[in-house]
Copies of this chain bind each other. A is one copy, B any other.
Amino acid sequence: MAERALEYLSRRAEEVNGGLEILLPAETEPPQSLHRAMRYSVFAGGKRLRPALALAAGEALGGKAADILPLACAIEMIHTYSLIHDDLPAMDNDDLRRGRPTCHKAFGEAIAILAGDALLTLAFRVLASDALACGPARQLRVIREIAAAAGTVDALIGGQAVDIESEGKRVDASTLEYIHRSKTGALICAAVVAGGIAGGADDGQVDILRRFGQNIGLAFQIADDVLDVTATSEQLGKTAGKDQAALKATYPSLYGIAGSEARARALVDEAMTAMSGLGVDSAPLLEVARFIVARRS
């Protein structure tokens, strides 16, 4: 099962990398340092999990992959921008990301901040472009969905703010869940929901996809917390044990490893149950969801 998911993800990653190659400014385009930094971080070997979810959801609802690909690429740009900014010295101060120096280590802080800004901005330009072929009304809904998930209220930036401010403090279970749902879960959920909208989902289907996305989004971050404890830096491509060293609130620190793994599995089961009402074949989407808790890096 994990092999099938890996094969599926690897095929999708190729499409997404092809799309990103076209959408990102060339390294020869001035200002070159900025465009090199954007490409350095985007092509650092990510699994393209969020884009795969968007494509799988869009296809399940009857959309064509080529029409949804710009959405998938835009989501990966937003994910990458968030990693670049989170790694900055004023934030998580990380030197290593996906086995290589972080963007600010390679290009300096100023260019790293601007490269993050630029990826976020380009994502919205792509989302508003004609390439995302799902009709203007759906396209605007997609943009709203992504912008909300990347925002401050129960969303990406808000989660990062609370995460930063909680460092070194005792964090209760509900704050921890808020951080995980916001910082990681919201964009994963938006990938599924926006993919579905672009593919033609009706309101009922959007609700189902949202429940599915919320559950796998949280499950993903719990699995990430567990891997930070159980995997090596080499497997992760980033410094393992970093959460503990920074006294970060994590699921294992509150629930233990076995307890965290059980919670992640329960969330995926809940996600699967929600999807039974979707009324279309969503096998690849379910496979990727199962992979999220089974992955080893």
Within 8 A of B (CB), among A50-88: 81, 85, 88
Give bound CA distance, A151 to B29, whole Å: 13
In the complex, whether A157 has a CB less than 8 A from a CB of chain B is: yes
Give bound CA distance, A25 to B158, whole Å: 11
Interface string of A147-162 (1 = CB under 8 A from B): 1101111000110111
Give bound CA distance, A30 to B165, whole Å: 12
Min Cβ gap A22→B in Å is 15
B148, A31: Cβ atoms under 8 Å?
A: no
Pick from B33, B137, B160: contact of A114, CB under 8 Å: B160
Min Cβ gap A229→B in Å is 25
Pick from B81, B128, B162: contact of A30, CB under 8 Å: B162
Closest Cβ neighbor of A90 among chain B residues: B109
- Interface size in chain A (residues, C-beta < 8 A): 49
Residues of B within 8 A of A139 (CB): 136, 140
In the complex, whether A206 has a CB less than 8 A from a CB of chain B is: no
Mark the stretch among A116-124, A207-215, A274-282 that contacts chain B: A116-124
Give bound CA distance, A150 to B114, whole Å: 11
B165, A148: Cβ atoms under 8 Å?
A: no
Copies of this chain in its oligomeric complex:
2
Closest Cβ neighbor of A142 among chain B residues: B128
In the complex, whether A293 has a CB less than 8 A from a CB of chain B is: no
B114, A157: Cβ atoms under 8 Å?
A: yes
Closest Cβ neighbor of A154 among chain B residues: B30
Given contacts A136-B136, A152-B25, A152-B35, contact A147 B125 (CB under 8 A): yes
Given contacts A113-B90, A136-B137, A144-B129, contact A118 B152 (CB under 8 A): yes
Give bound CA distance, A163 to B44, whole Å: 27
B125, A113: Cβ atoms under 8 Å?
A: no
In the complex, whether A91 has a CB less than 8 A from a CB of chain B is: yes
Pick from B124, B125, B153: contact of A25, CB under 8 Å: B153
Given contacts A31-B162, A158-B30, A161-B34, contact A125 B110 (CB under 8 A): no
Interface centre among A25, A85, A110, A116 (most CB of B within 10 A): A110
Residues of B within 8 A of A160 (CB): 114
In the complex, whether A188 has a CB less than 8 A from a CB of chain B is: no
In the complex, whether A6 has a CB less than 8 A from a CB of chain B is: no
Pick from B31, B116, B157: contact of A118, CB under 8 Å: B157
Give bound CA distance, A195 to B264, whole Å: 48
Give bound CA distance, A161 to B108, whole Å: 12
In the complex, whether A164 has a CB less than 8 A from a CB of chain B is: yes
Some 25 contacts from A to B, beta carbons below 8 A apart, are: A25-B153, A29-B153, A30-B162, A31-B161, A33-B161, A33-B165, A85-B113, A85-B117, A91-B110, A91-B113, A111-B164, A113-B113, A114-B161, A117-B120, A117-B157, A121-B150, A121-B151, A124-B143, A125-B148, A125-B151, A127-B143, A128-B144, A128-B147, A136-B139, A136-B140
